[in-house]
Amino acid sequence: MTTISLIYLKLVALHQSITMENKRTEIKEIGEFGLIDQITKEFKNHHDSTIIGVGDDAAVIDCGDKYLLLSTDMLVENIHFDLSYAPLAHLGYKAISSNVSDIAAMNGIPKQVIVSVGLSNRFSVEAVEQLYEGIRFACQDFKVDLVGGDTTSSPSGLVISVSITGEVEKDKLALRKGADEADILCVTGDLGGAYIGLQVLSREKQVFMSNPNMQPQLENYQYIVQRQLKPVARMDIIHELRDLGVQPKCMIDISDGLASELHHLSRHSGVGFKVYEDKLPLDKQTYDTSVEMNIGPVTTAMNGGEDYELLFTISQKDFEKLEKHRDIHFIGYASKKENGLKLITKGGNEVEIEAQGFQHFS
Amino acid sequence: MTTISLIYLKLVALHQSITMENKRTEIKEIGEFGLIDQITKEFKNHHDSTIIGVGDDAAVIDCGDKYLLLSTDMLVENIHFDLSYAPLAHLGYKAISSNVSDIAAMNGIPKQVIVSVGLSNRFSVEAVEQLYEGIRFACQDFKVDLVGGDTTSSPSGLVISVSITGEVEKDKLALRKGADEADILCVTGDLGGAYIGLQVLSREKQVFMSNPNMQPQLENYQYIVQRQLKPVARMDIIHELRDLGVQPKCMIDISDGLASELHHLSRHSGVGFKVYEDKLPLDKQTYDTSVEMNIGPVTTAMNGGEDYELLFTISQKDFEKLEKHRDIHFIGYASKKENGLKLITKGGNEVEIEAQGFQHFS
């Protein structure tokens, strides 16, 4: 591809859409992870400082005394958010928080962010200021510095791309791999709230659209709506684990749902997991709203994404250090790989855990 | 903004579009740079390691022995590229090259990239593979490692967001500030080719659309079309300056056009510039095509963007080290700030240089 081929260019000018049809595999056929495997398999690294590239929550780069962490997320309007119920300030906050969560998932400390936005002309300066007010609040909360970005026009919706740096002492790095059999499986906070909050917001939007005189009824859903619109990355837990002298053996953040993240930990660490239904932490509002909406609470807890809680394993020897922690829950343990991923129901049955994470491509 | 205000949420659900109208300043009224100033002015840094944030080609982060550089660019379909004439492989190459150019502009060496793409369902796996083939070629050419990214759906066009890291020895960092009066102003390569190449591609697209039996005529425009579709960041120059022992006093890459970049250097360095028309490097094809399209060649050279050449100043003492360089051109010198930015025409007249860089927001 060293020179422009005129023949190719003509082909493009005439038939780019047609040539794409010659052999056409839909992205949904292989899924997001299949696509990433496919497009990155030919890449080779040139630098010894690149310790870990594609495949964990953040890249790991050797930077002398410490590791530099690097991660990114792209948020696209009407895929990741709906501006008819997401205030721009909360959206800005969430864009930073979800990136901070990727650094937390490496047991690292976030440092700098760069933020690019694509804006259609329906956005005024005041609207962009609201977005950046939320970004600024998050930067204060998580002590990260905004150091750059790009601001451009977009023909249709809003696009936000955030990249983040972090750092971690070399002996504190936590990856998706590293779990051993008999490790205790831990999760922070509670599960499924962000997902069920989204269901409520969608429902109220439908009600409002069919009858604009109806006011959205959100009084009874404040906690779960907040979980959806303004999730908080668990940097508090990262600092507490350090204070308590606990090194997670493996770690990931819950962006696509517990089941999906368990599959990642299992695949990278080469272990299976047993998870106990009665140990799954659900907030009462999450539970009640799940029932109200005819969604099984266990399904909500297992497959609801965007909670940005941390999922990790610890050695049994560290158990007593965390035993009385108010917000870390012990939901199971790592087993032999061949035992697979099993949910132990309240009735004592073993059920296969299938990953049903959020599918972008449909 | 610590808790979700239900009143605010209702307001959003009912009136987000209306409330935006209350006080509505259009982005085009203040421009991209005005917008960036407006939204970033309230941000404060938390880390001593953040040496330079928003405002140069890349952020500068103290990383011990060296500086870490960090930059990003977002490319949006139908704003930055048109897939009816930009082959996906070239687009992938350009996305990396333009980011490498930002690292070059700091006198740094690129190291890692993370690439996020938003894809509508008209893109097949094969199309995404073409895009990543170009990304891979660029990663090989510039010796950068692809270490992560995000792949997501997009309701409409293609969005590509690249973030890049680089490194530079602390005494080799080159910023937009740093030029002194009487410094020699240098530019690499030739100017305006990418811009005039774009005009040709647009013209041939119009011809083709009005009569699909017409073949695009690109034989006589190969160089300028290549400049537009597959620009090459000038890492060769960065390595040569090091070999020759020349430290640029200030530096920027030409993404928005010579005139616009001169304004940046002037503002950051606190100097004026005199530029000589007869010293402006134009390729013959750029010159001839400009004339053919009724665009003044000087306008093309001064205001055409996307050449990704380097613009920098050197001390007079370094002149003889570069005097015989095949591809570095001495186009003027830095003067007193109050003298402003002046183009000295072939006839000896002084003309004010006005920035007319690419306006995304219109």
Q: Per the CB < 8 Å rule, is B215 touching A54?
A: no
Interface size A-B, in CB pairs within 8 Å, comes to 370
Which of A144, A172, A200 finishes a domain? Answer: A172
pLDDT of B113-164, one tens digit each? 999 999 998 899 999 999 999 999 999 999 999 999 999 999 879 999 999 9
pLDDT of residue B261: 97
Q: Which of A20, A45, A129 sits opposite B145 (nearest CB)?
A: A45
Q: Per the CB < 8 Å rule, is B151 touching A116?
A: no
Q: Are A130 and A202 in the same domain?
A: no
Query: What distance in Å separates the CA atoms of residue A360 and residue B17, rounded to the nearest whole number?
Result: 26
pLDDT of residue B9: 54
Q: Are A196 and A333 in the same domain?
A: yes
Q: Is A44 within a domain?
A: no
Q: Are B54 and B140 in the same domain?
A: yes
Q: Is A14 within a domain?
A: no
Other CB atoms closer than 10 Å to residue A226's CB: what's the count?
Answer: 18
> Which parts of B183-303 are beta strand (E)?
184-188, 250-253, 272-276
Give A219's contacts in chain B (Cβ within 8 Å). 6
pLDDT of residue A4: 52
Give ipTM to 2 decimals: 0.91
Q: Is A256 within a domain?
A: yes
The one-letter code for the residue type at B139 is C
Q: Are A101 and A217 in the same domain?
A: no
Q: How many domains is chain B partitioned into structurally?
A: 2
Q: Per the CB < 8 Å rule, is A153 touching B13?
A: no
Q: Is A190 within a domain?
A: yes
Q: Are B311 and B192 in the same domain?
A: yes
C-beta of residue A204 within 8 angstroms of C-beta of residue A298: no
Spell out the SS3 assignment of A192-228.
Answer: CHHHHHHHHHHHHHHHHHHCCCCCCCCHHHHHHHHHH
Please give the DSSP secondary-structure letter assigned to residue A253. Answer: E
pLDDT of residue B359: 56
Other CB atoms closer than 10 Å to residue B214's CB: what's the count?
Answer: 11
Determine the average pLDDT of the residues in B44-61: 94
Please check the confidence at residue B1 and state whether its pLDDT lies above 90: no
Q: Which of A12, A145, A156 sits opposite B50 (nearest CB)?
A: A145
Q: Is A41 within a domain?
A: no
Q: Are B200 and B251 in the same domain?
A: yes
Of A248-262, B77-91, B207-221, B302-316, minimum mean pLDDT range: B207-221
Determine the average pLDDT of the residues in B228-232: 97
Taking CA atoms, what residue in A is nearest to B135?
A: A43
pLDDT of residue B53: 92
Residue A201 tokens read as 């917001």
Q: Is B2 within a domain?
A: no
Q: Which percentage of chain B shows pLDDT scores above 90?
A: 81
Give B217's contacts in chain A (Cβ within 8 Å). none
Work out the pLDDT band at B355, boundaries 50, 70, 90: confident
Structural domain range at position A79: 50-172
Q: Are B195 and B334 in the same domain?
A: yes
Q: Per the CB < 8 Å rule, is B155 touching A78?
A: yes
Determine the average pLDDT of the residues in A322-326: 96
Determine the residue among B68, B161, B213 to mutate to test chain A binding: the one whose Cβ has the most chain A Cβ atoms within 10 Å: B161
pLDDT of B178-208, one tens digit each? 999 999 999 999 999 999 999 999 998 888 8
Which of B172, B203, B224 finishes a domain? Answer: B172
Q: Are B223 and B326 in the same domain?
A: yes
Determine the average pLDDT of the residues in B68-93: 95
Q: Is A306 within a domain?
A: yes
Q: Are B344 and B203 in the same domain?
A: yes
pLDDT of residue A18: 45
- The mean pLDDT value of chain A amounts to 92
| H-assigned helices in B73-165 | 88-104, 125-141
Other CB atoms closer than 10 Å to residue B342's CB: what's the count?
Answer: 18
Determine the average pLDDT of the residues in B240-257: 97
Strand partners, B98: none
Q: Which of A86, A128, A146 sits opposite B43 (nearest CB)?
A: A146
The separation between CA A276 and the C-alpha centre of its own chain, rounded to angstroms, equals: 23
Query: What distance in Å separates the CA atoms of residue A271 and residue A77, rounded to the nearest whole number?
Result: 37
Helix (H, G, I), strand (E, B) or coil at B183: coil
Q: Which percentage of chain B shows pLDDT scores above 70?
A: 92
C-beta of residue A235 within 8 angstroms of C-beta of residue A188: no
Q: How many residues does chain A have?
A: 362
Q: Per the CB < 8 Å rule, is B218 touching A10?
A: yes
Which of B151, B172, B193 finishes a domain? Answer: B172
Q: What's B225's domain CATH number? A: 3.90.650.10
Q: Are B135 and B274 in the same domain?
A: no
Please check the confidence at residue A308 and state whether its pLDDT lies above 50: yes
Q: Is A110 within a domain?
A: yes
Please check the confidence at residue A121 and state whether its pLDDT lies above 70: yes
Q: What's B128's domain CATH number? A: 3.30.1330.10
Q: How far is B182 from chain A (nearest CA, A)?
A: 31
Please check the confidence at residue B17 and state whether its pLDDT lies above 70: no
Q: Per the CB < 8 Å rule, is A64 touching B61?
A: no
Q: Per the CB < 8 Å rule, is A159 touching B155?
A: no
Q: Per the CB < 8 Å rule, is B165 touching A23?
A: no
Taking CA atoms, what residue in B is nearest to A87?
A: B12
Please check the confidence at residue B361 and state whether its pLDDT lies above 70: no
Q: Per the CB < 8 Å rule, is A159 touching B118?
A: yes
Work out the pLDDT band at A207, boundaries 50, 70, 90: confident
pLDDT of residue A1: 45
Q: Per the CB < 8 Å rule, is A145 touching B47?
A: yes
Taking CA atoms, what residue in A is nearest to B120?
A: A361
Q: In sequence order, what DSSP letters do the residues of A75-130 get, joined into one string?
A: EEBTTTB-TTTS-HHHHHHHHHHHHHHHHHTTT-EEEEEEEEEEE-TT-BHHHHHH
Q: Are B338 and B195 in the same domain?
A: yes
pLDDT of residue B108: 98
Please check the confidence at residue A129 and state whether its pLDDT lies above 80: yes
b/e per residue B136-170 (b: at least 16 CB within 10 A):
bbbbebbebbbbbbbbbbbebbbbbbbbbbbbbee
Q: What are phi and psi of A116, to 5 degrees?
A: -110, 140
Determine the average pLDDT of the residues in A71-97: 95
Give B158's contacts in chain A (Cβ within 8 Å). none
Q: Are A199 and A311 in the same domain?
A: yes
Give B361's contacts in chain A (Cβ within 8 Å). 119, 121, 153
Task: Using alpha carbons, select from B41, B22, B13 the residue that is nearest to residue A126.
Answer: B22
